[in-house]
């Protein structure tokens, strides 16, 4: 009997040592990585570089806006940004409040809600610049792929804003 109990105990010890260790997620490190992506998006707007906005995203991206749900490839999103950036110059793309970030306990999924003010000028077909301003509020979802955060979906809302000096 003691021999059987000893064998069972030994087996349990061996099995428990083979179980994957619970992975501790450094939430602050993950939060900083997500904020770096947010900063890269800001730079992409000022640089009018759509690649900076689509490089770290899935190819089957879900975009929700104006009552529509669309699935867009990276190429389609890049073309969308190129149209938006054509003739545009940004003077503001600034957070109005700290982004709200939530990360799953296992560190594989996250979302970020941002609210920011955008001011830019955009040239029309005759070359005349027109000021534009709006407040953006939206949610971006992320998943971990090969240890890196990638954008998976975005829900966007826009509200026109008065521009200073206009």
Q: What is the pLDDT of residues 84-113, one digit of tens each?
A: 999 999 999 999 999 999 999 999 999 999
Question: How far is Cα 166 from Cα 91, in angstroms, rounded to an integer?
Answer: 14
pTM of the model: 0.81
Checking if the pLDDT of 10 tops 60, the result is no
CATH T-level assignment (fold) for domain 24-160: Nuclear Transport Factor 2; Chain: A, (3.10.450)
The Cα–Cα gap between 147 and 137 comes to 28
Domain ranges of the chain: 24-160
Per-residue pLDDT, 7 = 44
Q: How far apart are CA 162 and CA 6, in angstroms?
A: 77
Instruction: Please enumerate in sequence order all residues whose Cβ is within 8 A of that of 45, keeping only pairs 6 or more positions apart, or say none.
Output: 53, 85, 90, 93, 118
What pLDDT, on a 0 to 100 scale, did the predictor assign at position 115?
98
What letter would DSSP give residue 123? Answer: E
The reported pLDDT for the residue numbered 161 is: 81
């Amino acid at each position: 009997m003691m021999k059987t109990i000893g064998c069972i105990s030994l087996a349990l010890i061996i099995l428990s040592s083979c179980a994957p260790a619970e992975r501790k997620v450094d939430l602050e490190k993950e939060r900083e990585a997500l904020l770096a992506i947010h900063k890269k998006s800001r730079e992409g707007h000022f640089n009018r570089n759509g690649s900076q906005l689509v490089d770290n995203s899935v190819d089957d991206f879900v975009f929700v806006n104006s009552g529509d749900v669309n699935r867009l490839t990276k190429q389609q999103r890049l073309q969308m940004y190129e149209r938006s950036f054509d003739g545009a110059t940004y003077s503001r793309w600034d957070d109005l409040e700290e982004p709200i970030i939530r990360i799953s306990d296992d560190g594989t999924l996250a979302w970020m809600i941002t609210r920011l003010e955008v001011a830019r000028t955009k040239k029309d077909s005759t070359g005349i610049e027109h000021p534009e301003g709006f407040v953006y509020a939206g949610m971006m979802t992320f998943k971990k792929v090969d240890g890196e955060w990638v954008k998976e979906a975005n829900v966007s809302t826009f509200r026109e804003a008065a521009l200073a000096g206009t």
